[in-house]
Amino acid sequence: MLKTIKHAAIIALVAGTAAVAAPSSYASTKSAQFDVTLNIQNDCAISANALDFGSNGTLTNNIDVNSSLAVTCTKGTTYDVALDAGTATGSTVAARKMLGSDGTSTVEYGLFTDTARTQNWGITPGTDTVSGIGNGDSQSIPVYGRVPPQSTPAAGTYHSTVTATVIF
pLDDT tens sequence across 148-168: 999 999 999 999 999 999 999
The neighbouring-strand residues paired with 79 are 132
pLDDT for 7 beyond 70: no
Q: Three-state SS for 119?
A: coil
Residues in contact with 93: Cβ distance below 8 Å, sequence separation at least 6, in sequence order: 83, 84, 85, 120, 121, 122, 123, 128
CATH architecture assigned to 44-167: Sandwich (2.60)
Burial of 36 (0-12, 13-18, 19+ CB in 10 A): exposed
How far apart, in whole angstroms, are the C-alpha atoms of residue 108 and residue 101?
15
- pTM attached to this predicted model: 0.80
